[in-house]
């Protein structure tokens, strides 16, 4: 499928899922806007590498997704977009009665509030262009729950609900809004956790992955960033023009249980 002629903003995209999504969208021909809260040479170099590899325009724009004004400014600095991929997110694990208030506030701001701000800023541009896609990277935790993840679960459930509302508000326009709900995805961050988990449980790599990390993922396989990117590209394609207000799970069967 081709996304040539489309501009995509992907929040939280200098690593992990976001970077994988940006690469797959660039492979499909889209101009991509990378984003994170840092402003390092390496961030801008990533955009240059994508541009050189796929022959598309690529830029990096720094914006702190915990700040509403910065979220909106990202869209305006980019000059609007055809495709908005809300991916930025953080995590913290603790019992709810011990959950640090600052962590709660940060998770809600970055994982959920940013989606509101970027979408509100992007929709007028999409309407002016006569076409648009809002694709929110939620989580299996947007459909189910786990203990000790109160803020993350609340935020991701909120993203799923917001996706449905945006879909209804744009239902008579050539604009769609959907949420992708990944299970565990093999990212550099997850990869870095494997050795410590092996030591903790005295297991080899395969045992740790299948029996500990992917205990709730029936396929016993990680999703990949390329698979997430491919799903985003599908939702951005004309084939998905009548898919709106729903969730697509990429979770190896997690939410089937």
Catalytic residue numbers read 152
SS3 string of 77-112?
HHCCCCEEEECCCCCCCCCHHHCCHHHHHHHHHHHH
Contact present, 59 and 78 (Cβ < 8 Å): yes
- d(Cα 188, Cα 17) in Å, to the nearest integer? 10
The label of the residue with tokens 């495709």 reads 83
Residues 6+ apart with CB under 8 A from 203: 197, 211, 212
CA triple 87-205-217, angle to 5 deg: 50
């Amino acid at each position: 499928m081709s996304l040539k002629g489309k501009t995509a903003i992907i929040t939280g995209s200098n690593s992990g899922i976001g970077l994988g999504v940006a690469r797959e969208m660039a492979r499909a021909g889209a101009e991509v806007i990378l984003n994170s809260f840092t402003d390092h040479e390496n961030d801008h170099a990533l955009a240059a590498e994508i541009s050189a590899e796929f022959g598309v325009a690529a830029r990096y724009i720094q914006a702190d997704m915990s700040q509403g004004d910065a979220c909106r400014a990202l869209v305006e600095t980019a000059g609007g977009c055809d495709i908005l991929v809300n991916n930025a997110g953080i995590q913290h694990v603790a019992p709810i009665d011990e959950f640090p208030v600052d962590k709660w506030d940060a998770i809600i701001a970055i994982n959920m509030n940013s989606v509101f701000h970027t979408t509100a800023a992007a929709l007028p541009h999409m309407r002016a262009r006569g076409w648009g896609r809002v694709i929110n990277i939620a989580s299996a935790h947007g459909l189910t729950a786990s203990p000790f993840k109160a803020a993350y679960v609340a935020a991701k459930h909120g993203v799923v609900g917001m996706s449905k509302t945006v879909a209804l508000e744009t239902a008579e326009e050539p604009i769609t809004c959907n949420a992708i709900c990944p299970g565990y995805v093999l990212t550099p961050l997850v990869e870095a956790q494997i050795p410590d988990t092996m030591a903790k449980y005295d297991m080899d790599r395969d045992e740790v992955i299948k029996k500990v990390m992917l205990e709730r993922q029936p396929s016993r396989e990680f999703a990949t960033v390329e698979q997430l990117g491919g799903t985003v590209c599908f939702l951005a394609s004309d084939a998905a023009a009548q898919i709106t207000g729903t969730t697509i799970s990429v979770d190896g069967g997690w939410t089937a249980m």
